[in-house]
A and B are shown apart, each in its own frame.
Chain A
Amino acid sequence: MNIVGVLIPLALAMGLAGLGTFFWAMRSGQFEDLDGAAQRILIEEDSDGEGAP
């Protein structure tokens, strides 16, 4: 039964982490431009290296 004492807090912590991530994602505008994000993978990297990693 003691394992429950570990697993339940673990499950809650993971759930809270997911919730926190969602709140962060909304606040930082990850869902602002869903169509644009899909299109942007098609843009070729700049040849002059500006903005490249």
Chain B
Amino acid sequence: MNAPLRRPEAAEPCIDSRFTVPGMRCAGCIGKVERGLAQVPGVAAARVNFSAKRVAVSHAPELTGEAIIAELRKLGFEAERAADNPLARDDAETRSLLRALAVAGFGMMNIMLLSVSVWSGADAPTRALFHWLSALIAVPVIAYAGRPFFASALMALRHRRTNMDVPISIGVVLATVLSLYETATNGPHAYFDGAVMLLFFLLAGRALDAMMRSRARSGIAALLGRMGRGAQIVQPDGATRYVEAERIVPGMVMLVAAGEALAADGTVLEGRTLVDAAMLTGESAPRPVVAGDLVHAGMVNLGNPVRLTVVAAARDTALADIARLMDEAGQSRSRYVRIADRAARLYAPAVHSLAFLSFCGWLLAGAGLHQALLIAVAVLIITCPCALGLAVPAAQVVAAGALMKRGLLIKDGSALERLAEVDEVIFDKTGTLTLGEPRPVDLSGLGEEARRIALALAQESRHPLSRGLARALREEGVEPAVLDGVEETAGQGMSARFQGRPVALLRPESEVAGLAADLVIAGKAARIAFADPLRPDVQAALAALSGQGLACSIASGDRPESVAAVARELHLFAAAGMHPAGKLALLERRKASDHRPLMVGDGLNDGPALAGAHVSIAPGSASDVSQQAADAVFVGERLMPVALAVRVARRTMAIVRQNFTMAVLYNMLAVPLAIGGFVTPLVAALAMSASSLLVVGNSLRLARSAGKEGA
């Protein structure tokens, strides 16, 4: 049953394509997509990856991606081409960490098995044999599982810096070498178990961290892909062909359907339409364009299908300038030092001098070189930041998991740390404080029957107005009417018959201000006006943010009049008419005056600001570029996840600090024992696992408190 559905007759070489299908929510959807696609001629196999909301289709080369997307739409699912997997590198890192963790786990269990009998008093020949066996297991295991730490420690030392991995590597290597010496000289104490256990706990922390990142990123990747990745290019013979954005060159003629985003800059060749530049400039009102007008990549065509002559593509578009700004803005972010590394800067020198001092002290006190070295290694092992290595990732993974359930995807732990430090929030307007989609302003003029007809017509179309109308009606609990012969005329609207009478949802015949549609039932027209409304809980979310001591303001690219209206309603300071570079400069000024701004924005014009802010969040409806630049993405129509994110991030850092305190307390207790020479491998193993369990247990409290707090 779990095998992909295969058709034996499709034996010719197949090509594989991947599509994101965000609408899959249940087992029924998996079955419907896989079975439905398998029945399409030319499809050899279809396999759904439910976690990634993706379907991999193996099909004959004749079958185009558009045809498969059309088939998926017939099955009732919106689909998009998935980009080439940009997350493969992350995946590989997680995998190698998991493999190292498995090897360390294997080694730890087997060595522990031998160590227990040594601890319980095996006689000398057995002890020697068991130590040799332990060494045989431990050396290859440490060589394999320790690589992530050794590599990172070497890198840090090469740059004359120190991080958490330096004391870890020194501790593990010294312990192994000394234990080998002990084994060879038939000594009583070997620390193989301690060294391998240390690696196991630390790898568990790293693997958790990596898994959190890749889970959030695959969640975000499932949202991506709605912006113009390519376009239908008109061939000399009049047929159209899909061409990827990178392959489009100036001079081509591009056909852009209603609701599609432009993949390149161009001038309108024929037709007149409305374009929505909200993503590019933040302007909320759509702009009419006619033949000869210049339009830019990233704008969305709201009106009729139009033909454009491409004037600039790929790297020369207005979009690419924004991308360059973003690259520069992102530089400052990489200079941020994470809390674990800040702790290591204090911790590593302290630990090393402590071990060195006890070595010298015992030498001076008259102990032999061997015994002094043994005690120094015991100090290193006992102070090795085992609990410290777990203190940060354990808390952050729990917090990220709780936030993910509430609709906020955090990309990595450093984002949580920076989020806890913010002291002000700067919002974009269009698409961030507002929904960024046209919704009907007032539906009270429509009767019960008219609403059902409107929903039935609207749900058959992909036009942005139809989608907004269908969504608003569905939210009111309207059931669609049963219609006959539904037809869509591009640029005109939808028409059908309801109980023998003609009904239609049409674009207004006369020019009107703003967006509107006419619902025509048996010749009688009712006008439905559309606007971009504020998110439903915007007031509550802003109140929650200022309750946490954060100053909120608006930085928008829209015209001053429309920004002022929103700012008045929400009682916020606002700056209007800002260019991408202007927003970035505003953030740089705030950062220079020692503020830590959180930027929340969705448009391409917010990209540089998102990359340059101390930390940034984008809504799930944002452009791909913005979602990639932001540190976190929230899904759904509510703004509350932003306030929740700050609260949970602060709580997480409080727990992390508690964990650090616990680790320090533990060291204050254990280090004197080690310096006194009372620490045997048994004591080290017990202390290590006890402190790790304590830290993990404390972090788990976060799941309960983050889950309980009301949104």
Are B3 and A51 interface neighbours, CB within 8 A? yes
* Interface residue? B31 (CB, 8 A): yes
Q: With A and B bound together, what is the CA distance between A16 and B105 in angstroms?
A: 11
Are A26 and B30 interface neighbours, CB within 8 A? no
* Closest chain B residue to A5, Cβ basis: B129
Known: A33-B51, A36-B50, A46-B35. A26 touches B110 (CB 8 A): no
| Distance in Å: Cβ of A47 to nearest Cβ of chain B | 11
Query: Max chain A CB contacts within 10 Å: which of B49, B51, B99?
Result: B51
* Closest chain B residue to A19, Cβ basis: B106
* Closest chain B residue to A22, Cβ basis: B102
* Closest chain B residue to A21, Cβ basis: B102
Are B1 and A39 interface neighbours, CB within 8 A? no
| Distance in Å: Cβ of B528 to nearest Cβ of chain A | 38
Q: With A and B bound together, what is the CA distance between A53 and B27 in angstroms?
A: 19
Are A39 and B27 interface neighbours, CB within 8 A? yes
Are A11 and B113 interface neighbours, CB within 8 A? yes
Interface residues of A: mostly helix, strand, loop or mixed?
Answer: helix
Known: A11-B113, A15-B109, A52-B1. A26 touches B99 (CB 8 A): yes
Q: With A and B bound together, what is the CA distance between A52 and B48 in angstroms?
A: 18
Are A51 and B1 interface neighbours, CB within 8 A? yes
Q: With A and B bound together, what is the CA distance between A52 and B6 in angstroms?
A: 11
Q: With A and B bound together, what is the CA distance between A35 and B2 in angstroms?
A: 13
Which residues of B lie under 8 Å from residue A6 when comparing CB positions? none
Which residues of A lie under 8 Å from residue B109 when comparing CB positions? 15
Q: With A and B bound together, what is the CA distance between A26 and B95 in angstroms?
A: 8
* Interface residue? B294 (CB, 8 A): no
Size of interface on B: residues with Cβ below 8 Å to A = 30
Which residues of B lie under 8 Å from residue A36 when comparing CB positions? 30, 48-51
Are A40 and B110 interface neighbours, CB within 8 A? no
Which residues of B lie under 8 Å from residue A37 when comparing CB positions? 2
Q: Please, what's the 1-or-0 string for A1-39, where 1 marks a CB less than 8 Å from any CB in chain B?
A: 100000010011001101100110010000011111101
Interface residues on A, range: 20 to 34
Known: A15-B109, A43-B30. A34 touches B51 (CB 8 A): yes
* Closest chain B residue to A51, Cβ basis: B5
| Distance in Å: Cβ of A11 to nearest Cβ of chain B | 6
Are B27 and A42 interface neighbours, CB within 8 A? yes
Q: With A and B bound together, what is the CA distance between A11 and B117 in angstroms?
A: 14
* Interface residue? B133 (CB, 8 A): yes
Are A8 and B102 interface neighbours, CB within 8 A? no
* Interface set, chain B 24-63, CB cutoff 8 A to A: 26-28, 30-31, 35, 38, 48-52
* Closest chain B residue to A1, Cβ basis: B126
* Closest chain A residue to B107, Cβ basis: A15
Known: A40-B1, A46-B35. A35 touches B106 (CB 8 A): no
Binding site for A on B (CB under 8 A): 1-3, 5-6, 26-28, 30-31, 35, 38, 48-52, 95, 98-99, 102-103, 106, 109-110, 113-114, 126, 133, 137
11 sampled A-B residue pairs with Cβ under 8 A: A8-B114, A15-B110, A26-B95, A26-B98, A41-B27, A42-B27, A43-B27, A50-B38, A51-B1, A51-B5, A53-B1
Q: Can you name 8 extra interface pairs (CB under 8 A) apart from A23-B99, A32-B51, A36-B50?
A: A8-B114, A12-B110, A19-B102, A19-B103, A40-B2, A40-B30, A40-B50, A51-B5
- Shortest beta-carbon contacts, A-B, top 9: A36-B50, A42-B27, A39-B27, A43-B31, A35-B51, A33-B49, A19-B106, A22-B102, A35-B50
